């Protein structure tokens, strides 16, 4: 017996260690939405270094792009002038709609939606692993950023804050596999949940009888308690309605280009 | 103590490389897992108790910059470390091809453990196809990174500490002579 124990002790101890680690991981998942002490220390320690490197790299890229590599600048300028002209025309038309909307709101005695304060932040680092989709930003608790706050850009939803330290925070992108956003189709108001799949999203739990077309816009429904209503999530990329089953399989392409994320806005007061 | 600090410093450099510098060079979200290579090296050349603690601690620190599951990387890196320790008495730990083969095997083991831990315990139930899809590229990247690190280590040792030897790199000089 003693001989058997001496022979198999390393295997037994290894098994126990791995089980303890798995158990601890399982228990830690209950505090998944809070930043633990070690994570906070790591954020504080790595944040300034990452921010420093990021500054050096973006400074060099700026010098190259703004002063040296100007081959397409004239063409870009011409395109921007054209786009500006078109947008001015659209803006004039939308001014009319805005004024009409204001008049009708007054007539109906609508309550104005509360404006949410936002805080601009710079993306300084990506996730260290290939499997997950998170980014680090240069704002943290001291600037009012806490876990659960939504993060957006002009094009739409980016994600939500999952870890924060005094001066840095980590944002879970909506394309991460653990991310889920309560959403609806802008056209027919069909509800569902957008889940991350690495680079795309899937729009789950949309009933089979709902009419969904490719290109339809998907926006947040405001039901999850994290994202306010009406933020753009993406566009429907493909629809697969099978003969049987309750729901349809819908793929959504996010409107935000996550590979070129540089500045984001943290919505400070939308936590419910 | 000095050795432990050296490992921690190497882990710090790995994190900066993986989060800031390598994403500029590599397209998409792919990046080599330098911490995995460090843990495999620990498994080959470090004594079990210190190595276990270090691998688990590095894993917890890794969670601060990767994903949103506290304890996941601790479990993964400890699993890889223990697997390497399990075979270390039966192989020639000074062999450089062995390190490269172990990096490939470690990547597969790490992916399998991650798919199991995420699928069974967390909300990220749909992540395993993503992990499986990324595995070939991840294997290639980790292999290239391990090969480059071996060459770099030998060069650094020869340039800055010509009279000293690095554990596991004693026999590499002739192999990586340029």
DSSP code of residue A183: E
- Residues B136, B138, B144, B150, Cα dihedral to 10°: -130
Cβ-proximal residues to B135 (8 Å cutoff; 6+ apart), any chain: B107, B108, B111
Helices (H), B26-88: 34-45, 48-63, 72-87
The alpha carbons of chain B give a radius of gyration, in whole angstroms, of: 16
Tokens standing for residue A266: 């943290």
Tokens standing for residue A173: 């992108």
B114 — pLDDT class (breaks 50, 70, 90): very high
As a whole number of angstroms, the distance between CA A125 and CA A225 comes to 27
Report pLDDT for B106.
94
Q: Where are the domains of chain B?
A: 2-175
Which residues in chain B have Cβ-Cβ distances shorter than 8 Å to A199?
A: 29
Tokens standing for residue B174: 């002739």
A193 — pLDDT class (breaks 50, 70, 90): very high
DSSP string, A55-108: HHHHHHHHHIIIII--TTHHHHHHHHHHHHHHHHHHHHHHHHHHHHHHHHHHHH
pLDDT at A266 over 90: yes
pLDDT at A241 over 70: yes
Cβ-proximal residues to B175 (8 Å cutoff; 6+ apart), any chain: B96
Which residues in chain B have Cβ-Cβ distances shorter than 8 Å to A14?
A: 82, 85-86
Which residues in chain A have Cβ-Cβ distances shorter than 8 Å to B24?
A: 57
Bin A222: left if φ > 0, else alpha if -120 < ψ < 50, else beta. left
Q: What is the pLDDT of residues A158-192, one digit of tens each?
A: 999 999 999 999 999 999 988 899 999 988 888 99
CATH code matching the domain that covers B2-175, chosen among 1.10.1760, 1.10.1060, 2.60.120, 1.10.8: 1.10.1760
Bin A217: left if φ > 0, else alpha if -120 < ψ < 50, else beta. beta
pLDDT at B82 over 70: yes
CA dihedral for B122, B63, A160, A261, sign (positive or negative): negative
As a whole number of angstroms, the distance between CA B178 and CA B166 comes to 19
Residue of A nearest to B113 (CA): A22
Token pair 């691998």 is found at B55
C-alpha of B120 from chain center: 24
- Mark which residues 16-35 of B lie under 8 Å from A by CB: 16, 18-21, 23-24, 28-31, 33, 35
Token pair 């790995």 is found at B14
Kindly give the interhelix angle for B96-121 and B127-160, rounded to the nearest 10 degrees. Answer: 150
Tokens standing for residue B87: 């075979």
Q: Which of A193, A203, A204, A196 is nearest to A171 (CA)?
A: A196
To the nearest whole Å, the CA of A258 is away from the closest chain B CA by: 10
Q: What is the pLDDT of residues B146-170, one digit of tens each?
A: 999 988 888 888 888 777 766 666 5
Q: Which of A125, A192, A196, A214 is nearest to A157 (CA)?
A: A196
Q: What is the CATH number of domain A32-70+118-272?
A: 2.40.10.350
Question: Looking at the complex, does the CB of residue A214 fall below 8 Å from at least one CB of chain B?
Answer: no
A72 — pLDDT class (breaks 50, 70, 90): confident
DSSP code of residue A200: S
Which of B24, B65, B130 is closest, CB to CB, to A46? B65
Complex-level ipTM: 0.85
To the nearest whole Å, the CA of B78 is away from the closest chain A CA by: 7
């Amino acid at each position: 017996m003693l001989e058997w124990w001496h022979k198999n002790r390393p295997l037994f101890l290894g098994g126990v260690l791995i089980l303890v680690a798995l158990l601890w991981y399982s228990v830690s998942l209950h505090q998944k939405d809070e930043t633990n002490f070690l994570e906070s220390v790591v954020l504080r320690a790595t944040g300034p270094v990452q921010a420093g490197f990021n500054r050096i790299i973006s400074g060099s890229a700026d010098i190259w792009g703004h002063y040296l590599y100007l081959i397409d600048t004239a063409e870009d300028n011409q395109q921007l002038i054209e786009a500006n002209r078109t947008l001015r025309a659209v803006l004039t038309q939308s001014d009319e709609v805005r004024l009409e909307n204001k008049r009708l709101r007054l007539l109906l005695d609508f309550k104005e939606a509360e404006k949410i304060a936002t805080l601009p932040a710079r993306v300084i680092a990506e996730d260290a692993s290939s499997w997950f989709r998170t980014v680090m930003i240069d704002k943290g608790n001291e600037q009012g950023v806490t876990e659960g706050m939504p993060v957006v850009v002009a094009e739409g939803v980016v994600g939500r804050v999952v870890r924060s330290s005094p001066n840095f925070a980590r944002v879970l992108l909506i394309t991460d596999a653990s991310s889920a956003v309560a959403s609806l189709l802008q056209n027919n108001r069909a509800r569902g949940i957008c889940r991350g799949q690495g680079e795309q999203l899937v729009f789950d739990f949309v009933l089979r009888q709902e009419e969904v077309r490719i290109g339809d816009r998907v926006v947040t429904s405001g039901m999850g308690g994290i994202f306010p209503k009406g933020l753009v999530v993406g566009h429907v990329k493909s629809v697969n309605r099978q003969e049987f089953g309750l729901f349809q399989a819908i793929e959504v392409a996010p409107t935000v280009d996550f590979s070129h994320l540089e500045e984001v806005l943290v919505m400070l007061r939308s936590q419910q | 103590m000095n050795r432990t600090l050296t490992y921690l410093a190497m882990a710090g450099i790995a994190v900066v490389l993986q989060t800031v510098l390598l994403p500029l060079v590599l397209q998409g979200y792919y990046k080599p897992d330098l911490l995995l290579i460090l843990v495999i090296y620990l498994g080959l050349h470090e004594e079990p108790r210190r190595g276990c603690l270090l691998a688990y601690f590095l894993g917890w620190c890794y969670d601060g910059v990767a994903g949103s599951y506290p304890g996941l990387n601790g479990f993964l890196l400890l699993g890889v470390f223990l697997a390497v320790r399990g075979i270390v008495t039966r192989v020639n730990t000074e062999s450089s091809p062995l390190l490269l083969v172990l990096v490939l095997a470690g990547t597969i083991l790490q992916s399998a453990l991650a798919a199991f831990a995420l699928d069974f315990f967390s909300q990220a139930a749909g992540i395993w196809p993503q992990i499986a899809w990324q595995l070939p590229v991840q294997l290639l990247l980790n292999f290239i990174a391990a090969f480059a690190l071996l060459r770099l280590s030998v060069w650094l040792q020869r340039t800055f500490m010509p009279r000293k030897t690095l554990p596991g790199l004693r026999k590499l000089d002739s192999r990586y002579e340029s």
